[in-house]
Structure 1
């Protein structure tokens, strides 16, 4: 049985899509999760996927909160994710401080859109226990919510939301980059056995390395993203200047896990157990190498 790999269809997934086209479903099949990491975690839990390429913070916070549905097996994007703060086209909100004591739209509880709202609150000095949320499932639901007034704003990746800003549907009022590398790889501990996950990560590394090369960034990557996602060339080039990928997808820096836990705890999103967290509980050590 091929592995079922959950992913979000965004420009970040380009190396994975190239790998999938070459593989042709022999070793894995892709399962699109348009609602983002909250949906990926839900599908890992419900036996709908075996591996997820998802945002670092919700993956780590899910394990910190007791999930047994997955463990980290690798890294996917080593640079921060730039989260845009988005409001409706006609709202009164002009900047992030204006959002205090309002309702923030999120895709799902436990999603990156929620964890980053806590990080934003921490940066602003707001009492994070007072944050209010409304679940709106996906980008379309989130856009509708800021325009019908049921939420004040939502957070989503900058370049993914830019076409909606360019079309005049919503407005940018700020941005909050993640304090951690943005994407990791997680796998179910039994449904995704090590002898299948290791070769998957090894081959994914070859596609990531090729995509990350100067030569591919100059032309092939631009054409691929333009063809798959329809983004303007200037936006693609701007994004390519900001993104970095790992040299080996089957490695995770220990400090990334520690620092992410530290920020999430300061933000009030997770609570450390007595004696603190052990990094080893977050990873499948049969697959991944901690550096």
Structure 2
């Protein structure tokens, strides 16, 4: 039976999409999750997917908060994600500092758009327990919210949002890069056990599809319609792992340290242990 791989269809998924074209459904099928990591985690929980390629911080914070729906099984992107801070074209907000004590748009509770709002607050010295959020489900709902005034701003990956800025439907007022590598791979612990061999093969082959600029510019242009100059600028900022079946332990501990400081997760008695976050039968901590 083919693995069900949940993913977000954006430029970061290019290696996965190229792999999928070669595999042609023989060993895995893709399940698109346009609402992002919150939706991926929900589908893992509801047995709608077996594996999720998702953002580092919501995956780690979910386990830290007690989720048993998944464990980490691999790495996907080794570089930070540049989160743009986006408002409507006609709002009065000019800088990130103007957003304090306003309502921020997020896709779902526990999503990257929410965890990064905590990081933004931490960096600006705002009380993290005073943040106010409005759930808008996906990028389309978030764009609508900053235009109808129901939220002041939201956070989303820079290049994904840039087409709306270029068309005049949104405006950048800053950015907050993640203080951690941006994407990890997770799998449901029970369903991963009988599929361990297939999952290990998937991770091994995915490692071969890192970005190769000359080929990938045309692939991303065709799949996503981004301008060539934007693709080339993004390719200079992104890195993929040589071995998807390995996770540096410090990625987990460093991420938890920032999320603790932001007040988004609470350290248990005895502290967090990196090995509790991973499926050691599939991935190795380095």
- TM-score relative to the length of structure 1: 0.97
The correspondence of residues 145-184 of structure 1 with structure 2, limited to 5 A, is 145-184=145-184
| Shift, 1:275, TM fit | 0.8
Q: Which runs of 4+ in 1 moved over 2 A?
A: none
The match for 1:271 is 266
The match for 2:202 is 200
The match for 1:134 is 134
Q: Does 1:50 align with 2:50?
A: yes
* Structure-2 separation of matches of 1:180 and 1:119: 11
SS in 1 for 2:165: helix
SS in 1 for 2:190: coil
The match for 1:3 is 3
The match for 1:230 is 225
1:247 paired residue among 236, 242, 267: 242
2:257 paired residue among 249, 259, 262: 262
| Shift, 1:195, TM fit | 1.5
* Structure-1 separation of matches of 2:5 and 2:69: 14
The match for 2:111 is 111
User: How far does the alpha carbon of each residue in 1:127-173 deviate from its partner, in whole angstroms, 9 at most, with x for none?
Assistant: 00000000000000000000100000000000000010000001000
What value does the CA root-mean-square deviation take over the aligned residues? 0.6
| Shift, 1:191, TM fit | 1.3
| Shift, 1:246, TM fit | 0.5
SS in 2 for 1:191: helix
The match for 1:286 is 281
The match for 1:121 is 121
The match for 1:83 is 83
Aligned residues: 284
* Structure-2 separation of matches of 1:270 and 1:189: 22
